[in-house]
Amino acid sequence: MSFPKIGSAAHDFTLLDQNGSSISLSSLRGKTVVLYFYPRANTPGCTIQAEGIRDHLQSFEKLNTVVLGVSPDTVKKISNFTEKKSLNFTLLADENHEVAELYGVWQLKKFMGRESMGVVRTTFLIDAAGTVSGIIEVNGRKTGSKTKTHHEDVLAWLEENQ
């Protein structure tokens, strides 16, 4: 499956957060949503990306924006990640990678000569009406966004497009 098109309705879903509570994308209508997919909790790149968001969450909140991080981890693993890194935003467990597949980010990846299926680090910007208004591929060729500057790139996009 490919990424949703900019201008299309964001696919709704319900997943469990780090506290075991159900969160639906549709319940966040009225706010801008940064929906970012990351490969795995407690890994170097994912930690850098999450800490950047954590350290700048107030800037997102000033823009009436909610941040949701989605990975194929268990609730227990994202709960541990949240506690260990003092994360102050919502992480969602997509254990069966159904939402990752729905958004087209569950893809064949190559790493150190090995191929496997996994999450391609991608961020979807969803407006208050629930429409996909932007896509940032992290470490991708299209934007050149990196895990270290992900929060800056997303905030810059939000400031330019809201």
Domain boundaries, the chain: 14-161
Cα–Cα distance between 99 and 38 in angstroms, integer?
12
pLDDT at 64: 95
Strands (E), the chain: 14-17, 22-24, 32-37, 65-71, 90-93, 106-111, 114-119, 122-126, 132-137
* Tokens at 93, concatenated: 């467990």
pLDDT at 138: 77
pLDDT at 8: 97
pLDDT at 140: 54
- Which among 104, 97, 41, 37 is positioned nearest to 68, based on CA atoms? 37
Q: Which of 25, 46, 138, 154 is catalytic?
A: 46
**129 part of the active site:** no
- Which among 123, 114, 109, 102 is positioned nearest to 46, based on CA atoms? 123
**What CATH number was assigned to the domain covering residues 14-161?**
3.40.30.10
Kindly give the confidence (pLDDT) of every residue in the chain, 162 residues in length, as a single tens digit, with 9 standing for 90 and above. 689 999 999 999 999 999 999 999 999 999 999 999 999 999 888 999 999 999 999 999 999 999 999 999 999 999 999 999 999 999 999 999 999 999 999 998 887 888 989 999 999 999 999 999 999 987 655 555 677 888 999 999 999 997
What is the reported pTM? Answer: 0.93
Tell me the β-bridge partners of 145. 138
DSSP 71-104: ES--HHHHHHHHHHTT--SEEEE-TT-HHHHHTT
